[in-house]
């Protein structure tokens, strides 16, 4: 029964993928979209069933299908582990996935390759489910690379544009850098504990007497590099903003709500490894904090509506890693969930705006959309309030938990996180004011066509806005359902349940004030004073540096890409020809000897005979003299 | 037969054949006419044949004489072919001086 | 029935094809190659049932040379690879017209015969004969039916021929030396030899020269890219898909067990050489303008990793190497076929002259993309299983080997995706590109099916090769 359920869960999206690949074109757009959506919806229903089962029994379900890879000291099964963590992830992957599929039916309706879009989306859901429910690291790795592939396909969905293809390629390659780290981490763990299976690994680590802690730290560090690639942390974050080249539903599903949280999932899954590597945990916390700050500063000045949201995603992921670094896994998971709600809503809302403006993404050409797109406006407003940490919206609770945890461990990192949060509030409301208030700044023709999107687009927005509002209820301070639910996963006692004292309330107040301050600055600057960001060429000073993302892409190009390319040219033009010439030289030497020897052959028979006799005499005299 | 050998002595046979052989060699080296060279080679061959026969008697072993018959037969065949080649060369080039035969030049 | 049946089928096939005339030749060749495939499957079945399918007859008494064919799991796996790829290769050529087709297809079958013999031979001299015999057909195939300027082609092919032949002569010398010691060329007698470390080193190096040129391992690879480029695609497929596996197979079968002390002593150097090939090949592949040349360098990178895995002398390393050999054989044949499919339509191999194919031919794009992804070892393809096992074995020797060898997953993705982008994506090309025909599609689907099936379920292959690899390891570790 459990096996069948798990197989239905995994294989329905795969089936949807296959149907859309082979028959999608002939089925027509609406049908192929419906098939894609239903496939994911079925998985969602199965996830609900599984969730129900797990909350009632409290035990995880293990499903082993067959032996996959045999290596001398470790045997790797193709198997699934459905426990609290994976089912939680499944719920929002398939849930939000279904909504975004529904949204895409309308959003992508004008695209000639809509069936392909749905097949890729279904394939993505298939791999994401595999990633989440794999029972060992290598099955996770199938999903891990699989979602990377889908991300590649979907970023480059409009494949006639080579810039988009570049972005897709960049995403895939940067992810692969992280994947190498993940592989190396797996190798170390495999050789240390002779298993890659989560459950066995957990008992092995618990039972191990004298662990080589430095080796384990190295493994944890390598795994974290993998997480950095997938979850867009410094130094491997630059692919995520570029990934906005893909259609907006993709940005919402893959590059905000689900795939980018895979790194957090993996770290949470292996919490027992990271708990033992305290120095790596500090690294994670520091990287997370820096990432959240750096991305937030860049987000302050971006003018592309999707770029703002992309940097906001990087920044929020940084906050999650900050929590992971302190061992507060359940806090990170909480923020993953709330973030999935409000960020998906924001992306879908921006998609609605872009759809309404026929592809316009620059906020300098928007404005005044509040009246024509009321549903989009209100849902995005709710999500912006949630992300800014305004009380009683979901983001307030989760972000507050992270900052509280940070405060208890490290004041400097708390400050960094808080500053990033204030900036978040500022740039989100900058986005809101520029997009929805004042007068419309686009062309007359665009103005003429302005309209609210259809119901297939607005319904998912409304549902996500509701979730973004009330999502915080799952982990209220002091009465956290989530912490209890996740407790069986963690070896250490959870410390998420902070005693609510004066300090806590003060910090909460500070956070709320900070958020409101950010909103206020945005209000003054973009509503009161009616500022519109400068045209690209007029941007100067610090904002220019920020607008150009600290020139990180340029630096990477100069430090990594360009040298490899010129090395390749050098190898091709000099080393290859040199080696080739060396081999030919051997032949030439033989040739030269022959050429010289040829001159001896004069053709004069008299000479030949003379040499012949001379040789005979030499041999004869040698024989006699030798004796 | 043994008597004859006893009377003359094996060393005289060896001496004679060495002299014949050297005459052959000098003939080969000094003469330019291909037919003379050919004849000189025949002299060398016969010098060796003589030695064969002499030692065959000396060792009381008939094998040497059998060899001589073989080599004479082969030599006859070889002469036939060789002369034919020379005739053919003469027809083509109009000369059989070995100085003019340089087609072997590399 | 024993393993000589398959050799007989292929040899007779070669002659029948030659005498069947130009029109029928391709179909006759396909028929015989399929018969060989069926035969090898039957043999595999008999072998798994425990039947003895080996052959040993004395052939020449002085010196003592036997006609000995030994089929163990490893040999059978390689025979299956050959038997499965040959029909695919022949079938893939159906879209092309060759002049003097009877000789062309006859030579292909003859080459399959020689390569199969190499994988089966259990007598040093017999093995050497098959090894050299395989060189002759490919020489003519590349020389007569190749493309590009005739003079340059002759230069490249002759260089390849002499280079590999020269390398093999060292191996022959080693075999003769071994014969003077053992009094026999039979492989089990050679395994039993007790050679001093110094002798082993020289024998190891002599073998290495032959194999390093064939595989090729840097810096002995200079023949490769040019020949791959100049040979007809069928020849390139035979070379890259099967023939270079002869070198890798021989490392496992002959070099390591005969000279184990030397192998152990200098293991790190040879692993490093393999990994240097991985990095060097990947970097050179980045900036290639010719599609076939790019694939040639990617092949160089992959075989470098396989060689490195073989020299780890661990079960994982050997097993991963064999699996990767099979996976690489299929994927590289597929990729070269894709290059050929493009050439049939665009008549160019210049990457910059392509582009925009995806809009015109979705089926071809999907198949090509799957092959590209298999080549960069995406999990769920067979290549991942092989590459993961090899990298794991390298990490057990030294973690740095795994890290440096692992750069292949980054660099490989870089050059393959860059190639894919310039060849397939972008604005629609002005030239029209018809989607794959049924014939072309069948070849692609066969390859992809194999790669995906074993990607998820590699157990049959692991079970087949493991016992014979364990035997080889026992020989290596006998002291």
Chain segment A118-145, per-residue pLDDT in tens: 999 999 999 999 999 988 898 999 999 9
CA atoms within a 13 Å half-sphere pointing along the CA-CB vector of C97: 2
- Chain C environment of A156 (Cβ under 8 Å): 425
The tens digit of pLDDT for each residue in A160-174 reads 888 888 889 999 999
Confidence at residue A447, expressed as pLDDT on a 0 to 100 scale: 77
| Mutation site for A-interface testing, chosen from C380, C397, C412, C441 by largest number of A Cβ within 10 Å | C380
Sorting pLDDT into bands at 50, 70 and 90, what band is A149? very high
Question: Under a CB-based contact definition with an 8 Å cutoff, are residues B24 and B43 in contact?
Answer: yes
**pLDDT above 70: residue A496:** no
Instruction: Tell if the CB–CB gap between C457 and A166 is shorter than 8 Å.
Output: no
The reply to whether B61 falls in a domain is yes
| Mutation site for A-interface testing, chosen from B23, B26, B29 by largest number of A Cβ within 10 Å | B29
**pLDDT above 90: percentage of residues in chain C:** 56
- Chain B environment of A605 (Cβ under 8 Å): 98, 101, 104
| C96 touches A at CB < 8 Å | no
Helices (H), chain B: 2-8, 10-30, 34-58, 63-93
- Chain A environment of C380 (Cβ under 8 Å): 142, 146
The reply to whether B103 falls in a domain is no
DSSP state of A100: H
| Mutation site for B-interface testing, chosen from A598, A603, A606, A612 by largest number of B Cβ within 10 Å | A606
Cis peptide before A235 (omega within 30 of 0): yes
- Chain B environment of A609 (Cβ under 8 Å): 28-29, 37
| C399 touches A at CB < 8 Å | yes
Distance from CA of A528 to the nearest CA of C (A): 45
Residue B27 has which token pair? Answer: 């003939």
Summarize the confidence of residues A518-524 as an average pLDDT.
Answer: 86
Distance from CA of A202 to the nearest CA of C (A): 21
**pLDDT above 70: percentage of residues in chain A:** 98
Question: Under a CB-based contact definition with an 8 Å cutoff, are residues A152 and A172 in contact?
Answer: yes
Q: Are residues A452 and A585 in the same domain?
A: no
Instruction: Tell if the CB–CB gap between B105 and A606 is shorter than 8 Å.
Output: no
Q: Are residues A326 and A393 in the same domain?
A: yes
Report the number of distinct structural domains present in chain B.
1
Confidence at residue C22, expressed as pLDDT on a 0 to 100 scale: 85
- Smallest CA-to-CA distance from A96 within A624, A460, A498 is with A460
**pLDDT above 90: residue C131:** yes
**pLDDT above 90: percentage of residues in chain A:** 19
| A207 touches B at CB < 8 Å | no
**Collapsing DSSP states into helix, strand and coil, what is residue A177?**
helix
Q: Which residues 130-189 in chain C show a CB within 8 A of chain A?
A: 159, 162-163
Confidence at residue C320, expressed as pLDDT on a 0 to 100 scale: 92
Q: Residue A243: count other Cβ atoms within 10 Å of its Cβ.
A: 29
**Which residues, in sequence order, are CB contacts of A43 under 8 Å at separation 6+?**
A8, A9, A10, A12, A13, A90, A94, A97, A125, A129
- Chain A environment of C421 (Cβ under 8 Å): 162, 165-166, 169
The reply to whether A531 falls in a domain is yes
- Chain A environment of B101 (Cβ under 8 Å): 603, 605
Specify the length of chain B in residues. 106
Helices (H), C347-477: 357-360, 362-375, 382-397, 399-424, 438-456, 459-476
The reply to whether A595 falls in a domain is yes
- Chain B environment of A596 (Cβ under 8 Å): none
Instruction: Tell if the CB–CB gap between A66 and C459 is shorter than 8 Å.
Output: yes
DSSP state of A549: G
- Smallest CA-to-CA distance from A196 within A225, A165, A223, A229 is with A223
**pLDDT above 60: residue C89:** yes
| Mutation site for A-interface testing, chosen from C279, C417, C422, C428 by largest number of A Cβ within 10 Å | C417
CB-closest option in A601, A609, A610 to B106: A601
Q: Where are the domains of chain C?
A: 266-479
Angle at A397 between CA A393 and CA A398, to 5 degrees: 115
DSSP state of C59: E
**pLDDT above 60: residue C50:** yes
Instruction: Tell if the CB–CB gap between B102 and A600 is shorter than 8 Å.
Output: no
Instruction: Tell if the CB–CB gap between C159 and A172 is shorter than 8 Å.
Output: no
- Chain B environment of A624 (Cβ under 8 Å): none
Residues of B engaging A, defined by a Cβ cutoff of 8 Å: 25, 28-29, 32, 37, 98-99, 101-106
Size of interface A-B (CB pairs under 8 A): 32
The reply to whether B105 falls in a domain is no
Instruction: Tell if the CB–CB gap between C417 and A166 is shorter than 8 Å.
Output: no
**Which residues, in sequence order, are CB contacts of C355 under 8 Å at separation 6+?**
C422, C423, C424, C425, C426, C427, C429
**pLDDT above 60: residue A494:** no
The reply to whether B33 falls in a domain is yes
Task: Specify the higher pLDDT residue, A74 or C430.
Answer: A74
CB-closest option in A599, A603, A609 to B103: A603
Residue of B nearest to A608 (CA): B29
Residue B9 is part of a domain; what is its CATH number? 1.10.287.3510
Chains C and B, touching by 3 or more CB pairs within 8 angstroms: no
Q: Are residues A455 and A391 in the same domain?
A: yes
**Collapsing DSSP states into helix, strand and coil, what is residue A427?**
helix
Residue of B nearest to A603 (CA): B105
Sorting pLDDT into bands at 50, 70 and 90, what band is B73? very high
**Which residues, in sequence order, are CB contacts of C356 under 8 Å at separation 6+?**
A160, C424, C425, C426, C427, C428, C429, C433
Q: Are residues A509 and A591 in the same domain?
A: no
Instruction: Tell if the CB–CB gap between A601 and B104 is shorter than 8 Å.
Output: yes
The reply to whether B104 falls in a domain is no
Summarize the confidence of residues A529-534 as an average pLDDT.
Answer: 74
Summarize the confidence of residues C80-109 as an average pLDDT.
Answer: 90
Residue of C nearest to A579 (CA): C222
Q: Which domain holds residue A597?
A: 569-626
Q: Does an H or E element contain A80, and which? A: strand A74-82
Residue of B nearest to A594 (CA): B106
**pLDDT above 70: residue A498:** no
Q: Which domain holds residue B32?
A: 2-97
Confidence at residue B1, expressed as pLDDT on a 0 to 100 scale: 52
Residue of A nearest to C213 (CA): A583
Distance from CA of A168 to the nearest CA of C (A): 10
Q: Residue A562: count other Cβ atoms within 10 Å of its Cβ.
A: 11
**pLDDT above 90: residue C88:** yes
Confidence at residue C210, expressed as pLDDT on a 0 to 100 scale: 92
Confidence at residue C328, expressed as pLDDT on a 0 to 100 scale: 94
**pLDDT above 90: residue C13:** yes
Confidence at residue A113, expressed as pLDDT on a 0 to 100 scale: 84
**pLDDT above 60: residue B2:** no
The reply to whether A140 falls in a domain is no
On average, the pLDDT of chain A sits at 86
Summarize the confidence of residues C230-254 as an average pLDDT.
Answer: 92
The tens digit of pLDDT for each residue in C317-347 reads 999 999 999 999 999 999 999 999 888 888 8
| C113 touches A at CB < 8 Å | no
Distance from CA of C105 to the nearest CA of A (A): 31
The tens digit of pLDDT for each residue in B79-104 reads 999 999 999 989 988 888 888 777 76
CB-closest option in A70, A159, A190 to C358: A159
Report the number of distinct structural domains present in chain A.
2
First to last CA, chain B: 52
| Distance separating alpha carbons of residues A122 and A128, to the nearest angstrom | 10
Confidence at residue B50, expressed as pLDDT on a 0 to 100 scale: 92
The reply to whether B65 falls in a domain is yes
Which residue bears the tokens 């398959």?
Answer: C6
**pLDDT above 80: residue A1:** no
Summarize the confidence of residues A398-402 as an average pLDDT.
Answer: 87
Q: Which residues 411-430 in chain C show a CB within 8 A of chain A?
A: 411, 413-414, 417-418, 421, 425-428
Instruction: Tell if the CB–CB gap between A138 and C388 is shorter than 8 Å.
Output: yes
| Distance separating alpha carbons of residues C322 and B104, to the nearest angstrom | 55
**pLDDT above 90: residue A441:** no
The tens digit of pLDDT for each residue in A234-266 reads 888 888 888 888 888 888 888 888 888 999 999
- Last residue in a domain, options A477, A509, A535: A535
- Chain A environment of B103 (Cβ under 8 Å): 603
Confidence at residue C40, expressed as pLDDT on a 0 to 100 scale: 92
Confidence at residue B3, expressed as pLDDT on a 0 to 100 scale: 66
The tens digit of pLDDT for each residue in B4-38 reads 777 788 889 999 999 999 999 999 888 888 899 88
Confidence at residue A128, expressed as pLDDT on a 0 to 100 scale: 92
């Amino acid at each position: 029964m459990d096996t069948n359920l798990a197989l239905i869960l995994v294989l329905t999206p795969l089936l949807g993928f296959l149907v859309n690949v082979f028959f999608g074109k002939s089925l027509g757009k609406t049908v192929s979209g419906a098939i894609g959506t239903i496939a994911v919806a079925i998985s969602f229903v199965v996830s609900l069933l599984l969730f129900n089962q797990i909350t009632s029994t409290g035990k995880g379900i293990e499903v082993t299908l067959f032996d996959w890879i045999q290596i001398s000291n470790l045997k790797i099964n193709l198997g699934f582990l459905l426990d609290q963590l994976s089912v939680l992830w499944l719920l929002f992957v398939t849930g939000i996935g279904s909504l975004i599929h529904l949204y895409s039916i309308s959003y992508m309706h004008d695209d000639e390759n809509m069936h392909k879009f749905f097949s890729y989306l279904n394939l993505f859901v298939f791999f994401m489910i595999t990633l989440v429910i794999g029972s060992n690291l290598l099955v996770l790795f199938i999903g891990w690379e699989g979602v990377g592939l889908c991300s590649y396909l979907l970023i480059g969905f409009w494949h006639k544009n080579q810039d988009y293809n570049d972005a897709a390629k960049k995403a895939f390659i940067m992810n692969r850098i992280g994947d190498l780290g993940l592989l190396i981490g797996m190798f170390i763990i495999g050789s240390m504990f002779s298993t890659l299976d989560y459950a066995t690994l957990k008992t092995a680590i618990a039972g191990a007497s004298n662990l080589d802690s430095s080796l384990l730290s190295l493994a944890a560090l390598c795994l974290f590099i993998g997480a950095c690639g997938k979850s867009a942390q410094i130094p491997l974050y630059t692919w995520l903003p570029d990934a906005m080249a893909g259609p907006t539903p993709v940005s919402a599903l893959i590059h905000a709500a689900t795939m980018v949280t895979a790194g957090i999932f993996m770290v949470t899954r292996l919490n027992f490894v990271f708990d033992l590597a305290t120095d790596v945990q500090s690294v994670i916390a520091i990287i997370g904090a820096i990432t959240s700050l750096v991305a937030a500063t860049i987000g302050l000045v971006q003018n592309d509506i999707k770029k703002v949201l992309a940097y906001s995603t990087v920044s929020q992921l940084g906050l999650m890693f900050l929590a992971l670094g302190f061992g507060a896994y359940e806090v990170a998971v909480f923020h993953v969930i709330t973030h999935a709600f409000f960020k998906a809503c924001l992306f879908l809302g921006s998609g609605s705006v872009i759809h309404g403006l026929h592809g316009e993404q620059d906020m300098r050409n928007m404005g005044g959309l509040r009246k024509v797109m009321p549903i989009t406006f209100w849902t995005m407003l709710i999500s912006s309030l949630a992300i800014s940490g305004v009380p009683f919206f979901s983001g307030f609770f989760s972000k507050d938990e992270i900052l509280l945890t940070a405060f208890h461990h490290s004041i400097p990192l708390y400050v960094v996180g808080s500053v990033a949060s204030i900036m978040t509030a500022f740039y989100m409301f900058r986005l809101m004011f520029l997009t929805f208030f004042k007068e419309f700044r686009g062309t007359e023709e665009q103005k003429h066509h302005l309209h609210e999107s259809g119901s297939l687009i607005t319904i998912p927005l409304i549902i996500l806005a509701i979730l973004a509002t009330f999502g915080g209820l799952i982990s209220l301070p002091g009465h956290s359902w989530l912490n209890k639910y996740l407790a069986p996963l963690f070896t250490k006692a959870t410390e998420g349940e902070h005693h609510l004292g004066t300090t806590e309330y003060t910090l909460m107040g500070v956070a709320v004030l900070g958020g409101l301050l950010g909103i206020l600055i945005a209000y003054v600057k973009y509503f009161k004073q009616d500022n519109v960001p400068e045209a690209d060429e007029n941007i100067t000073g610090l904002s220019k540096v920020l607008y150009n993302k600290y020139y990180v892409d340029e630096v990477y190009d100069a430090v990594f890409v360009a040298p490899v390319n010129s090395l390749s040219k050098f190898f091709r033009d000099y080393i290859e020809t040199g080696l080739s010439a060396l081999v030919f030289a051997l032949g030439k030497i033989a040739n030269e000897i022959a050429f010289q020897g040829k001159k001896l052959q004069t053709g004069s028979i008299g000479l030949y005979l003379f040499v012949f006799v001379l040789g005979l005499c030499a041999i004869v005299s040698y024989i006699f003299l030798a004796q | 037969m043994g008597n004859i050998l006893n009377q003359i002595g094996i060393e005289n046979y060896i001496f004679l054949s060495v002299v014949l052989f050297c005459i052959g060699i000098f003939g080969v080296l000094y003469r330019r006419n291909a037919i003379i060279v050919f004849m000189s080679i025949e002299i060398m061959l016969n010098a060796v044949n003589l030695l064969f026969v002499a030692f065959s008697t000396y060792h009381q072993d008939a094998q040497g004489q059998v060899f001589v018959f073989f080599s004479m037969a082969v030599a006859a065949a070889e002469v036939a072919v060789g002369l034919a080649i020379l005739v053919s060369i003469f027809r083509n080039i109009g000369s059989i001086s070995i100085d003019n035969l340089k087609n072997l030049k590399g | 029935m024993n393993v000589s049946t398959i050799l007989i089928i292929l040899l007779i096939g070669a002659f029948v094809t030659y005498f069947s005339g130009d029109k029928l030749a391709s179909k006759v060749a396909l028929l015989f190659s399929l018969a060989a495939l069926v035969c090898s499957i039957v043999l595999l079945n008999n072998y798994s049932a425990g039947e003895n399918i080996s052959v040993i007859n004395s052939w020449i008494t002085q010196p003592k040379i036997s006609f000995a064919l030994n089929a163990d799991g490893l040999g059978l796996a390689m025979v299956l690879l050959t038997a499965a790829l040959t029909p695919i290769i022949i079938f893939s050529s159906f879209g092309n017209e060759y002049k003097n087709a009877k000789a062309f297809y006859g030579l292909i079958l003859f080459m399959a015969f020689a390569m199969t013999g190499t994988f089966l031979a259990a007598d040093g001299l017999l093995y050497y004969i098959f090894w050299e015999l395989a060189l002759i057909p490919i020489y003519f195939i590349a020389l007569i039916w190749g493309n590009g300027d005739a003079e340059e082609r002759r230069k490249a092919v002759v260089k390849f021929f002499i280079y590999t032949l020269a390398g093999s002569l060292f191996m022959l010398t080693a075999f003769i030396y071994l014969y003077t010691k053992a009094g026999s060329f039979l492989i089990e007698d050679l395994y039993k030899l007790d050679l001093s470390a110094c002798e082993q080193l020289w024998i190891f190096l002599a073998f290495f020269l032959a194999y390093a040129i064939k595989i090729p391992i840097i810096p002995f690879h200079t023949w490769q890219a040019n020949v791959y480029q100049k040979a007809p695609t069928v020849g390139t497929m035979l070379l890259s898909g099967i023939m270079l596996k002869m070198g890798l197979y021989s490392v496992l079968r002959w070099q390591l067990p005969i000279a184990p002390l030397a192998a152990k002593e200098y293991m790190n150097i040879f692993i490093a050489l393999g990994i240097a090939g991985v990095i060097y090949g990947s970097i050179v592949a980045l900036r290639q303008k010719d599609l076939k040349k790019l694939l040639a360098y990617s092949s160089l990178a992959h075989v470098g990793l396989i060689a490195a895995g073989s020299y780890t002398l661990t079960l994982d390393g050997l097993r991963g190497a064999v699996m990767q050999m099979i996976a690489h054989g299929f994927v590289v044949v597929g990729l070269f076929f894709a290059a050929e499919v493009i050439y049939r339509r665009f008549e160019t191999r210049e990457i910059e002259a392509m582009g925009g194919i995806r809009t015109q031919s979705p089926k071809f794009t999907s198949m090509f993309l799957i092959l590209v992804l298999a080549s960069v070892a995406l999990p769920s393809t067979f290549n991942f299983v092989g590459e993961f096992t090899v990298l794991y074995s390298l990490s057990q020797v030294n973690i740095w080997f795994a890290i440096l060898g692992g750069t292949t997953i980054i660099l490989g993705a870089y050059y393959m995706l860059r190639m894919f982008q310039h060849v397939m994506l972008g604005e629609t090309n002005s030239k029209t590109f018809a989607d794959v025909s049924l014939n072309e599609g069948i070849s692609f689907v066969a390859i992809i099916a194999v790669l995906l099936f074993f990607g998820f379920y590699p157990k049959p292959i692991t079970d087949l090769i493991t016992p014979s690899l364990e035997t080889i390891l026992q020989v290596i570790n006998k002291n």
